[in-house]
């Protein structure tokens, strides 16, 4: 059996879709649905059962052997980079992961793969190498990134990284992110106005090295992210921390132009002030170093940004579609 935490969320639900494509349906979906619209991500997916995230952890810690669990794909977390409740992030992101990993330590036949984040790299001044001996040097810019970084450090101290996998996801976008509110990708947030008014808003730059809309990010389509995760599902002897990105930074202007092209409209970009609470915590450049991933044997080549955005806008956003629908 495969356990997918955060299974109703963006990457988690997409991962279940990909596992279904691979013929896997022996899946326990773990999440907290609450009153959100996340449940829509589950329509059309196949899995054995759904369990609340607290109930699942209680079950593990109450003595359940979990012998039927072959693999835990721990994708669940609060991914809001603007979340200011440090205590909540420590409990939800760091300590929950720690408690799962502690259970894994007593059940080493179960493979444990968890989601870290490129937010751990901070402003990028130290580069984007996923070498584990560089972890101490990283300085995240927000509490979300720090909550992820804390577990990476703990896992290294305990020597776990030789037996488990941490995935540092870069800027993932794609189907099944409607429920994320302000944390949706710019592609998802900007599409309705693009379609109705033919305009897109982007942040002005406050760094003289980058023009307005010229800020650079490693934008990764979720379908490509899934193939990289599946490499680790299918390669049980490959462990450690790995970057999950395209390895090629592109600008926000590139994203906008690709979106206009996808709906066959002329580009019309409006540059707006960046909110004060983001200034000083904004990553102007991210680009995954994929050397370690390639050396491990993952040869997946990501689709071009323009191809990915065309697929997302035309195949999903234009029809309010979900991966499983």
Contact 189, 255 (CB under 8 A): no
CA distance 83 to 9: 17
Tokens of 48: 């054995």
For 289-310, the pLDDT digits (tens) are: 999 999 999 999 999 999 999 9
Structural domains present in the chain: 2-173+219-247+287-302 (3.40.50.720)
Residue 159: Cβ within 10 Å count: 8
Average pLDDT over residues 112-118: 98
Task: For residue 250, report the phi and psi dihedrals to the nearest 5 degrees.
Answer: -130, 160
What residues contact 294, with CB distance under 8 A and at least 6 apart?
none
Give pLDDT, residue 297. 98
pLDDT at residue 66 is higher than 80: no
Which residue in the list 96, 144, 178, 221 is annotated as catalytic?
144
Q: 3-state DSSP call for residue 264?
A: coil
How far is CA 177 from its chain centroid?
A: 11
pLDDT at residue 22 is higher than 80: yes
Does the annotation mark 206 as catalytic? no
Percentage of the residues of the chain whose pLDDT score is greater than 70: 100
CA distance 206 to 209: 9
Does the annotation mark 168 as catalytic? no
Give pLDDT, residue 79. 82
Residue 156: Cβ within 10 Å count: 18
CA distances to 92, 116, 173, 213 from 146, in Å: 13, 10, 22, 27
If pLDDT is split at 50, 70 and 90, which confidence band does 176 have?
very high
Beta bridge partners of residue 56, listed in sequence order: none
Average pLDDT over residues 74-93: 89
Task: For residue 2, report the phi and psi dihedrals to the nearest 5 degrees.
Answer: -105, 130
Which residue in the list 148, 168, 180, 223 is annotated as catalytic?
180
Contact 1, 26 (CB under 8 A): yes
Q: 3-state DSSP call for residue 136?
A: helix
Helices (H), 74-159: 86-89, 96-105, 143-157
């Amino acid at each position: 059996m495969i356990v997918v935490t955060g299974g109703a969320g963006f990457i988690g639900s997409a991962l279940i879709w990909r596992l279904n494509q691979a013929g896997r349906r022996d899946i326990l979906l773990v999440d907290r649905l609450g009153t959100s619209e996340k449940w829509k991500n589950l329509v059309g997916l196949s899995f054995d059962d759904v369990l609340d995230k607290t109930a699942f952890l209680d079950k593990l810690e109450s003595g359940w052997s979990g012998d039927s669990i072959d693999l835990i794909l721990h994708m669940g977390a609060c991914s809001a980079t603007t979340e200011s409740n440090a205590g909540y992030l420590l409990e939800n992101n760091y300590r929950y992961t720690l408690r799962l990993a502690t259970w894994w330590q007593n059940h080493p036949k179960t493979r444990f793969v968890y989601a870290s984040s490129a937010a751990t790299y901070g402003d990028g001044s130290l580069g984007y190498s996923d070498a584990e001996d560089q972890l101490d040097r990283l300085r995240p810019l927000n509490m979300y990134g720090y909550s992820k970084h804390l577990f990476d450090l703990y896992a290294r101290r305990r020597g776990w990284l030789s037996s488990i996998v941490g995935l540092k996801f870069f800027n993932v976008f794609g189907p099944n992110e409607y429920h994320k509110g302000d944390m949706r990708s710019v592609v998802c947030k900007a599409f309705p106005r693009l379609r109705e008014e033919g305009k897109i808003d982007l942040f002005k730059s406050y760094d003289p090295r980058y023009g307005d809309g010229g800020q650079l990010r490693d934008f990764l389509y979720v379908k490509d992210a899934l193939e990289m995760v599946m490499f680790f599902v299918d390669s049980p002897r490959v462990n450690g921390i790995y970057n999950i990105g395209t390895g090629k930074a592109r600008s926000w202007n590139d994203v906008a132009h690709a979106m206009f092209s996808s709906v066959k409209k002329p580009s019309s970009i409006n540059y707006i002030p960046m909110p004060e609470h983001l200034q000083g915590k904004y990553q102007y450049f991210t680009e995954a170093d994929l050397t370690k991933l390639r050396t491990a044997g993952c040869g997946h080549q990501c689709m071009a940004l323009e191809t990915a955005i065309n697929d997302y806008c035309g195949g999903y956003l234009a029809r309010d579609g979900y991966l499983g629908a």
